[in-house]
Amino acid sequence: MSLGLLIFFALWFLLEFYLFRFLVKTIYGPVGNGSGKELFVSNFGFTILYWTIPVLLLLNWSAQVGGLIHYSDISIWIYVNAVFFVMYITKLFLLLFAVIADAFLIFGRGWKLFSGKDVFDPGRKQFLRNSATLVGLIPLPTLLYGMVRNPYRYRLHEVDVVIKDLPKGLEGLKVVQISDMHAGSWFFREPVERSVEMINEQQADIVVFTGDMVNNKADEMEPFIDLFSKVKSRYGVYSVLGNHDYGDYYRWSGQREKEENFVRLLEIQREMKWELLRNENKVLNINGSALAIVGVENYSALPQFPRYGDLDKAVENLDPGILKILLSHDPTHWDAEIVGKRWDIPLMLSGHTHGFQFGFEIPGFARWSPSSMIYNQWAGLYRKGQQYLYVNRGLGYLGYPGRVGILPEITSLVLKRT
């Protein structure tokens, strides 16, 4: 074991012990001299309950690192990992407010030494600890609610996109966008069926999917092929690949297995009658007006994500004056290569961020998500000059099997003339 890991585990244990000690004092009051032995022995039931969680987490982590299990292989494992995630987010909040409460108590002791007055009598000390614990526990019901109520609570976002010099034949064209299914995370089929019903209820002219069909493996999508084959639109369904679709995050037995998985993912899209655009385009004639749907492979301006996209190749042989809608999974592509550079692309559609599956949105007033600290464009419609980007919040979920404040999305975009 490396020195770094030893330091990490030592720090982890110390923080766990600190929080354990704080909670014992809060629940049971001071125990003797507060020594480790008395804390563990005098509250044996709580001790077992508390320390079972980090022990199970350590075993789970060891099994995944050792290759004994992989969360993508068993859907239920996503929920196992989610339990640990919820518990440790809650513990971090508890730890924060425990430190704040103890800081006040330390200040009180110092004040007593200086002035002789006891600022915190036993009742106030207990009130302070109780308050810190209650506030620190807020993430627990919040995150559990997000898991139980929101994973399949699809929301329709209707957006008008006003495009300068839009050809008359494209006025009122309706493009329905979905993104980021992450099919391996879906545990229930019935609520997913509702998403397809909602898509078809829009009576779209065009349906587009902007990447991340699976978490890692093509077989995640097998149970849903028949379902998403039912997606209907007047001029077809067009798709691109996202960073998760290449299988780059899975521990394969060899390169051949990875390549076979990728080939199967491409076959699935063909079976669903979806037209996958891999650095290529499709020109449509709609009411006498031409529209090019341009699709690129994953292109990210962030170093941790792949850059397989080739926009120049995707627009080869296209008339420069033709209206283009670009499908590109990662919204950082917009600032990197599109806005202010490719004036012939007035609209780009992306996904990828999921809106972090956490945040709040108050229409017309304020919104925030941790995604905003990573991405300049993280959800919804953005405009710079005469160019637009729409970032879909995703149909599925990844990691945490829920959503808080940022619900799964189906987008209906209608093109308008100035």
Domains of the chain: 3-148 (no CATH), 153-417 (3.60.21.10)
Among 36-40, 119-123, 406-410, the range scoring the smallest mean pLDDT is 36-40
β-strand pairing of 366-368 with 360-362: antiparallel
At residue 367 the predicted structure's pLDDT band, cuts being 50, 70 and 90, is very high
pLDDT exceeds cutoff 60 at 39: no
Instruction: Over range 30-58, report the average pLDDT.
Output: 71
Q: Across residues 96-117, what is the average pLDDT?
A: 78
pLDDT for 78 equals 79
Q: What is the mean pLDDT of residues 317-326?
A: 93
Phi-psi region of 110 (alpha: psi -120 to 50; beta: other; left: phi over 0): alpha
Given a cut of 60, whether residue 125 has pLDDT beyond it is yes
Would you place residue 61 in the very low, low, confident or very high pLDDT band (cuts 50, 70, 90)? confident
* Full strand arrangement of the beta sheet holding 280-286: 280-286, 289-295, 323-327, 347-350, 387-391, 380-384
pLDDT of 1 above 80: no
**CA atoms of 239 and 412, how far apart (whole Å):** 16
Q: Which of 363, 355, 414, 416 is nearest to 386 (CA)?
A: 416
User: Locate tokens 């993912």: which residue?
Assistant: 265
Whether the per-residue pLDDT at 247 is higher than 90: the answer is yes
What are the Cα distances from residue 330, in Å, to 126, 203, 215, 259? 50, 27, 16, 23
Q: How much is the pLDDT for 45?
A: 80
Which tens digit of pLDDT belongs to each residue from 174-209? 999 999 999 999 989 999 999 999 999 999 999 999
Does position 381 have pLDDT exceeding 80, yes or no?
yes
Amino acid present at 135: V
Amino acid 398: pLDDT = 94
The overall pTM is greater than 0.85: yes
Task: Tell me the residue length of the chain.
Answer: 418
Shortest CA distance to 185 belongs to which of 354, 62, 347? 354
The mean per-residue pLDDT over the stretch 399-406 comes to 94
Q: Which pLDDT does position 83 carry in this prediction?
A: 87
pLDDT band at 293 (very low <50, low <70, confident <90, very high): very high
Q: What is the pLDDT of residue 116?
A: 61
